[in-house]
Structure 1
Amino acid sequence: MHRRVAIIGGGAASAALLGELLARRPPQPLHLDWYTGGGTPARGVAYSTGSERHLLNVRAASMGMFAGKPQGFLDFVQRDDPSVAGTDFLPRRRYGDYLEAEVAQALAFGRLHGHDVQIVPFAADAVVPETGGVSVLRGEDVHRVDAAVLALGALPPQPLAGVSDGALAGGRYVVDPWPLLANPPADVPEHVVVIGLGLTAADVLLELAARWPETRFTAISRHGMLPEPHLHTTSLPAEDSALLVEAMQDEPDVRRWLRLLREAIAQEEDWRSVIDSLRPYTPGLWAALPLDQRARFQRHARWAWERARHRMPPSVHEGLAELERSGRLHRQRGQLYRVDADDDGNGLRLELHPHDRDASKMQTLHAGLVVQSVGMDFDVAGTPHPLMRQLVVNRHVLPDPLGLGCRATPQGRLLHDGGEWSRLFAIGSLLRGTLWESTAMPEIRQQARAVADQLLAG
């Protein structure tokens, strides 16, 4: 049993692990050091927004924090408002309230049973795994623990290739949209370009359109397509998913998998039932894919899978459709080539390759503001995150070869050149390359339970 554990990260994944550990009845009290990195513990970036327009992309009934209480969030909100249904898509702000309440309850329960929890409102500067333990460094302080868990969430976003220093220096190219949404500038731009058309871009477009009613928007992505919407009512997973999964496992080849999916979808009333039926099997299917097939999936099929698998609430889809009908939003296919400051210094100039990559058709756009909204960054090899840089440079962890977090076992044990660490774990986004689906709460709560089991088993 690992009695002294460091949990590094301040978001929902770390809160779920904390709750799992404190809910157990180990034979000896635990000592937990929780490095939250500042901000409100448990909320992280995802649930710190105060906007009612930023909705969860999963129905309320599926957003429980703990594997043993999958409807915990629904129970929480229904105590205040019994009219809330399990099929509702609620504001992320309310989920942040729920996480805070669960953490407070877990801490009170932990104190009652003799556990010692130190909330450290700073980031860890370095982590050094060793045979008999792990050293966690912050400034000049060194804390020796039995085990450590990295639950860092999203890595810091970086400017896309082709964005010039001049574009960044003027402040009109926004790399991280969340500070902008929390405190938009008083100088309202006439034209805003949003790079990306995923779920983050949807949040950006709806929020800025509401705050700046006279602004028009252009949203750019390689395929120019928004995420698919959820149905207004729930759909049941396909009944014959076991046969589909067995056929996919027999021949782990992306091209064959796409053909099998198309055939399965043709037999269902709605394609969502087929996609949703694969969710429990996704880690095993991903593990079965050879590396070259994973790379093929990344290049050719990832965009389609993401828009079908990670869907938006119907109200968000309808809000974006209304922006398009009113002429305020234009979606465009293309790939960013370069962003520079305009010659007059009052805006930015974007050069785009069209979808067919014909350089002779290069297109130029002008905007008062450009917002980068391309989703989460998983590349630990190139991240500016200080802790991950230290771990990678010192070879304590190995980057995933496709830039999807760290190499790890399916149980969350991080790998190094000599094998797997017995005392250094990860949950959440860092396991993207190992499990593929590793950023939504239903997966994270299962990971938290599995890592807690290993920590307490020693």
Structure 2
Amino acid sequence: MVIGSGLTSADVIASLDAKGFAGKITCLSRRGLRSRGHAFGFAPTAARFAEQPETTALGLLRRIRRAVRADADAGLPWQAVLDRVRIDGPAIWAALPLAERQKLVRKLRIWWDVHRFRIAPQIEAVLDRRIAEGSLTMLAARLDHAEARANNIHIGWRTRRREGGKPHHDSANFDAVIVTTGPAHGGILGASPVLRDLADAGLVRCDALKLGLDVANVAQAVGLGGKPSAGLYVAGPLARGHIGELMGIPEVTAHAEATAAMVLAAIGQKRDGRTGALDRQLDCSA
């Protein structure tokens, strides 16, 4: 069993296949959605989302759908629009009030993830082949229980409620279970002793969306009192509650550069302050 159906799950399944694993694989996730594939050689979309950005999650969704339909009429794949959404991500996120951000994370995040984090064609071909031959099953279900037994692992799950029906409970035995659900950023304060100590000291706190740490002014950590913690910065994915899209290499790189610039500026201010203080001391001595 593979728990999770995102990029890591696809890589694990492809790796098992490459090593000659011929047994059956069951992939379980809450919605049973696979990461979508790439498209190549298409022109950029004319859509722009940073210009007069939407202020509601529903408005943003409708705007993206209109752009995808317009691109389809022009012979472009949906990937063109999603690539533009990614580029315009900071402006899109900044325009959304907290309540709309919460709505987007709760209702649309899963759809963004499977379209944004795409799998390579070679890996997609492995998944398609194994599904067709019956050696890979994608389950939309929630994990109920897991029990390690002498010779296997017993897993129970509850399938999603069908319209007008009830959830279905099922279970099976597996030789191995691989968890590919990714980092639990919402529980990072409990998982990291360093961050837990910083939180206990009042220097950091979780963001309101439970995506990572609360951040202000691009990268400055926010403490329990809601005030930025001087000299403490958050670079990378843990700041995505403030920035928005912050998981890919280009976004992480840009955020690291912005954070480094802030640190350099802060160091420069301290150095200038010390120089000024020394000048005043020399003036007094004279």
- TM-score scaled to structure 2, two decimals? 0.83
- Paired letter, 1:356: R
The corresponding residue for 1:433 is: 241
Q: Does 389-398 or 304-313 show the bigger shift? A: 389-398
2-side partners of 1:441 and 1:447: how far apart? 10
Verify: 1:327 aligned to 2:134, yes or no. yes
The corresponding residue for 1:336 is: 143
The corresponding residue for 2:15 is: 207
- Secondary structure of the equivalent of 2:203? coil
Alignment of 1:36-115 (within 5 A): none
The corresponding residue for 1:406 is: 213
Alignment of 1:383-394 (within 5 A): 383-394=190-201
- Secondary structure of the equivalent of 2:108? helix
2-side partners of 1:361 and 1:437: how far apart? 35
Q: CA deviation at 1:451?
A: 1.9
1-side partners of 2:179 and 2:2: how far apart? 6
Structure 1 unaligned blocks of 5 or more: 1-192
Verify: 1:256 aligned to 2:59, yes or no. yes
Residue 413 of structure 1 contacts residue 421 of structure 1 at CA under 8 Å; is this kept in 2? yes
2-side partners of 1:224 and 1:247: how far apart? 35
- Secondary structure of the equivalent of 2:228? strand
Deviations 1:367-422 (A, max 9, x none): 11111111222124553211111112222101112211111124211112252133
- Secondary structure of the equivalent of 2:205? coil
In structure 2, the CA distance between the partners of 1:267 and 1:422, relative to structure 1 (3 Å rule), is: same
Aligned partner of 1:353 among 134, 158, 170? 158
Q: How many residues align?
A: 259
Q: CA deviation at 1:205?
A: 0.9
Deviations 1:210-260 (A, max 9, x none): 2252321010112212111111x243331131xx443543xx211222111
2-side partners of 1:276 and 1:360: how far apart? 36
- TM-score scaled to structure 1, two decimals? 0.53
User: RCO greater where, 1 or 2, for CA within 8 Å and sep 6 or more?
Assistant: 1
The corresponding residue for 2:118 is: 311
Percent identity reads 27
The corresponding residue for 2:2 is: 194
Q: CA deviation at 1:442?
A: 0.5
Q: CA deviation at 1:331?
A: 1.1
Residue 161 of structure 2 contacts residue 167 of structure 2 at CA under 8 Å; is this kept in 1? no
2-side partners of 1:224 and 1:380: how far apart? 23
1-side partners of 2:17 and 2:89: how far apart? 36
Aligned partner of 1:421 among 220, 226, 229? 229
Alignment of 1:291-302 (within 5 A): 291-302=98-109
1-side partners of 2:190 and 2:104: how far apart? 23
In structure 2, the CA distance between the partners of 1:388 and 1:403, relative to structure 1 (3 Å rule), is: same
Q: CA deviation at 1:280?
A: 2.5
1-side partners of 2:172 and 2:63: how far apart? 41
Instruction: Identify the structure with the greater helix proportion.
Output: 2
Verify: 1:267 aligned to 2:74, yes or no. no
- Secondary structure of the equivalent of 2:16? helix
1-side partners of 2:114 and 2:170: how far apart? 26
The corresponding residue for 1:246 is: 51
- Paired letter, 1:355: R
- Secondary structure of the equivalent of 2:147? strand
The corresponding residue for 2:32 is: 224
In structure 2, the CA distance between the partners of 1:314 and 1:360, relative to structure 1 (3 Å rule), is: closer
Q: CA deviation at 1:454?
A: 1.9
Structure 2 unaligned blocks of 5 or more: 267-286
The CA RMSD over aligned residues, in Å, is 2.0
Q: CA deviation at 1:455?
A: 2.0
1-side partners of 2:80 and 2:190: how far apart? 36
The corresponding residue for 2:202 is: 395
1-side partners of 2:171 and 2:140: how far apart? 13
In structure 2, the CA distance between the partners of 1:379 and 1:220, relative to structure 1 (3 Å rule), is: same
1-side partners of 2:37 and 2:98: how far apart? 31
Aligned partner of 1:277 among 68, 84, 93? 84
1-side partners of 2:134 and 2:125: how far apart? 14
